[in-house]
Amino acid sequence: MLEHSYGGVMSRPSNSATNVTFLPPNPEKKKKNRVPHGVVPLGTYDGQATPFEIFLSRFESWAVFNDWSEEEKHFVLRGSLTGHAADVFCEPQSKTTTDDLLGLLRHRFGTSQKEERFEMELKSRRKRKGETQQSLYADIRKLTSLAYPGQAGPLVERTAVNAFKSAQDDPNFRSKLRDKQ
C-alpha cells in the first residue's frame, strides 16, 4: 500500500473517503533553522551597499540564533555573497574555512585601517537635494562610528553634531542650529 506524508498528516489511499490518520511531527525532521516572527532575514552582501561590519554582525547573530555548525556557516556565508563580494570565490582560500572566507572579506571590504577616509567623508558630507534630515542624521552617525570605531564620549558626539550642522544645505537653518549651541 502507498503512503504519503504531508507535514504530520499521513494519507493512505483507499476506497473510503475518511481514511486519513494524523501523526505527530517527526522530531528528527524538525527544521533546525528557524526565523522568528518579525525578524529581518540575513539577506545578501554585495560589498557595496552595506558596510562589511554590519553584515558580519548580522551573520554572526544569525549563526548563534540558529546554532549553525561550521559547515552550515560556510554554506550560508557563501550563499549570501553577491556582486563584488562574490569575487572572493576566485581566491583559493575562499574554499577552505569560514574564518578564511571572512578574513578575505574583512581584508577586501572591512573598515579597519580606513578611519581616516571615513573622517574625511564625515567632514565633507553635505545634505543632498531631497534628502531628509533623518536620512542625513543616520548617515552622519554611521560615518562617525566608522571614523571613530569603539570610541564614545563628548568629543566624538561634538564631532557628529558639528558634521550635521556643516552638512546643512540651507544657510539659515545652519545658522539657527549654530545659535542653539
| Number of compact structural domains in the chain | 2
Q: Is residue 34 part of a domain?
A: no
Last residue of one domain, picked from the residues 93, 109, 125: 109
* Residue 171 structural domain: 115-180
Give the Cα separation of 57 and 72 in Å (integer): 17
Which residue shows C-alpha cell 539577506?
Answer: 43
Angle of the 171-180 helix axis to the 154-167 helix axis, nearest 10? 150
Query: Do 119 and 176 lie in a common domain?
Result: yes
Give the Cα separation of 164 and 132 in Å (integer): 12
Phi and psi torsions of 89, nearest 5°? -65, -15
Q: Which grid cell sits at 150?
A: 569603539
pLDDT of residue 85: 92
Query: Do 95 and 121 lie in a common domain?
Result: no
Alpha-carbon distance values, 147 to 57, 105, 122, 125, 158 (Å): 18, 19, 8, 13, 14
Query: Do 105 and 121 lie in a common domain?
Result: no
Q: Is residue 1 part of a domain?
A: no
Query: Do 144 and 87 lie in a common domain?
Result: no
Of 71 and 6, the one with more pLDDT:
71
Write out pLDDT tens, residues 126-177: 999 999 999 999 999 989 988 888 788 899 899 999 999 999 988 777 777 7
Give the Cα separation of 103 and 93 in Å (integer): 9
Query: Do 97 and 138 lie in a common domain?
Result: no
pLDDT of residue 37: 52
Q: Is residue 153 part of a domain?
A: yes
Residues with Cβ within 8 Å of 154's Cβ and at least 6 positions away in sequence, in order, are none
Q: Is residue 149 part of a domain?
A: yes
Q: Is residue 68 part of a domain?
A: yes
Write out pLDDT tens, residues 85-103: 999 888 876 677 889 889 8
